[in-house]
Amino acid sequence: MIDLHTHSTASDGSLTPTELARAGKAAGLKIMALTDHDCAKGLDEFLAETRRLGMQGVPGIELSAEVPSGQLHLVGLGFDHTDPTLRAAFEKMLGGRDARNQAMLTAFQENGIDLTYDEVAQYAGDELVSRVHFAQALIQRGLVKDLAEAFERYLGKGALCYRDRFRYTPAECVQLIRNAGGIVIMAHPLSLEKDLVALEGRIAELVEAGIVGMECFYSAYDTETTLALLRIAHRLKLIPSVGSDFHGTPKPTVFLGKLPVSEETQARLCQLLSTTAAFSH
């Protein structure tokens, strides 16, 4: 089994990189990527533990790209996570997150909700405070019942207290990862566009930018959606990818090792990963 989209305490997951690797092993995964948001801090720990467990660990990251509508997340895989240019780019993105977090705190306060940074940061991991941590603070306050309501009312794009932040363009994201020896796939495509006809056109633009795969097997997608995405991937000559988007406690209904992926698809993904810097030495 394979899972190329997971998160740890280095961003907004609830398991440390070591704990995540052990959970993947217990779930029967053979190949697993850690793809924290804009952050490579947990990769050394994660890769060391996957090696110890006899698994194939994949260095990864989930990048938010600048798009005119919807939300585009790109997963970089197999890159050299020690590359200094790449690390500098990650630091710039983390700085943009810090500025956005302060702007969101101000927005909450202006709307009569006196959240503090410390209150939000207590839910965060080693480095990154994200909207998920804002949501957890709101849930603890009893202002919302769950993550979905927090994003709908306050934190989602266009919601009351949402504030934007610095992002690279899709082409810039792809180039950063490729220059470090990695490959890029599109994460949870329906976040970009829900209309499948329009979505295919927008994915075609990303193919031009250099993506090589897209998540067709995703924890929130039913069989009908998966099949529709597989057809789009086939027409655009993209390799179907599989990602649970596992976070642990913040997404309690998402599990590792539960997505039904054929051996053929797993073999194609393994072949793709074999071309990356992480697998070539």
Domain assignment present for residue 164? The answer is no
pLDDT of residue 3: 97
pLDDT of residue 126: 60
Residues 215 and 138 grouped into a single domain: no
Residues 191 and 249 grouped into a single domain: yes
Residues 79 and 185 grouped into a single domain: yes
Residues 83 and 180 grouped into a single domain: yes
pLDDT of residue 47: 96
Domain assignment present for residue 161? The answer is no
Residues 29 and 135 grouped into a single domain: no
Q: What is the mean pLDDT, run by run of 10 residues, along the chain of 281 residues?
A: 94 92 96 93 95 96 92 96 91 82 91 90 75 89 92 90 89 96 97 95 96 96 96 97 93 90 91 88 51
User: Could you tell me which residues come within 8 angstroms of residue 92 by beta carbon, excluding any fewer than 6 positions away?
Assistant: 166
pLDDT of residue 90: 86
Domain assignment present for residue 42? The answer is yes
- What is the SS3 string spanning the chain? CEECCECCCCCCCCCCHHHHHHHHHHCCCCEEEECCECCCCCHHHHHHHHHHHCCEEEEEEEEEECCCCCCEEEEEECCCCCCHHHHHHHHHHHHHHHHHHHHHHHHHHHCCCCCCHHHHHCCCCCCCCCHHHHHHHHHHHCCCCCHHHHHHHHHCCCCCCCCCCCCECHHHHHHHHHHCCCEEEECCHHHCCCCHHHHHHHHHHHHHHCCCEEEEEECCCCHHHHHHHHHHHHHCCCEEEEECCECCCCCCCCCCCCCCCCHHHHHHHHHHHCCCHHHCC
Domain assignment present for residue 163? The answer is no
pLDDT of residue 256: 94
| Beta-carbon count within 10 A of 150 CB | 23
Residue 194 to residue 144: CA distance in whole angstroms: 25
Residues 73 and 177 grouped into a single domain: yes
Domain's final residue, options 129, 155, 181? 155
Domain assignment present for residue 162? The answer is no
Looking at residue 29, which CATH number applies to its domain?
3.20.20.140
Domain assignment present for residue 9? The answer is yes
User: Could you tell me which residues come within 8 angstroms of residue 102 by beta carbon, excluding any fewer than 6 positions away?
Assistant: 117
What is the biggest distance separating any 2 CA atoms in the chain, rounded to whole angstroms? 55
Residues 102 and 76 grouped into a single domain: no
Domain hosting 57: range is 2-90+169-279
Q: What pTM does this model have? A: 0.84
Residues 189 and 271 grouped into a single domain: yes
Residues 81 and 139 grouped into a single domain: no
Contact 14, 7 (CB under 8 A): no
pLDDT of residue 233: 96
pLDDT of residue 218: 95
Residues 124 and 242 grouped into a single domain: no
Instruction: Tell me the residue length of the chain.
Output: 281
Tell me whether residue 185 is exposed, middle or buried, using C-beta atoms within 10 angstroms of its C-beta: 0 to 12, 13 to 18, 19 or more.
buried
Q: How many domains does the chain have?
A: 2
Domain assignment present for residue 129? The answer is yes
Structure token digits, residue 230: 């597989």
Residues 120 and 82 grouped into a single domain: no
pLDDT of residue 127: 60
Residues 85 and 190 grouped into a single domain: yes
